[in-house]
Amino acid sequence: MSTQPSLRAGPAEDGRHHRALERLYSAAAINRLFPSVLTITGEGRSIIRATLSPDVYHAAGAAHGTVYFKMLDDAAFYAANTLVTDCFLLTTSFNLHFSKPVREGPVEAHGSWVSGRRRVLVAEARLIDAQGDEVGRGTGTFMRSRIALTSLPAYGAQAG
């Protein structure tokens, strides 16, 4: 069960931090291999959307586990990073559970912050297929890095 973050006034209140995180995600080179879109839906919440094709299938004709991991890790990571406005977080561990094969079509990973705000944060994500079924779930631990968000060009770029 997810704990919802307490909503309080802060640097992210006007949405600039959330939009900057979305730009940062969009600029990541890996997303040229796994086209997807991040939407920050509020403090401690995110959604990653992608449309799967046979290009990401394993030999048995369903999405490879790397797709599950990438979407779940990203959704949980960005949900957690909404609560941290000064530095980039790093994934230190991630537990993944597969519950159903997913094939061609739209999928969404819904991320939500669970606990922690100081050095270590915990967040979880659920991967949902086009029929609304949960096909995977994961929980991650994320820690603050020494990388300032403002040092990352895509974070500081103005929306075009």
Residues 88 and 156: beta-carbon distance below 8 Å: no
Both tokens of 90, joined, read 């790093």
Q: Which domains does the chain have, with CATH numbers?
A: 16-155 (3.10.129.10)
Rounded to the nearest 10 degrees, how much is the dihedral formed by the CA atoms of 102, 137, 58, 22? 90
Q: In this model, does residue 1 exceed pLDDT 70?
A: no
Give residue 6's pLDDT: 38
Give residue 8's pLDDT: 41
Please tell me the distance from the alpha carbon of residue 48 to that of residue 25, in angstroms, as a whole number. Answer: 10
Q: What is the pLDDT of residues 85-114, one digit of tens each?
A: 999 999 999 999 999 999 999 999 999 999
Q: In this model, does residue 5 exceed pLDDT 60?
A: no
If pLDDT is split at 50, 70 and 90, which confidence band does 13 have? Answer: low
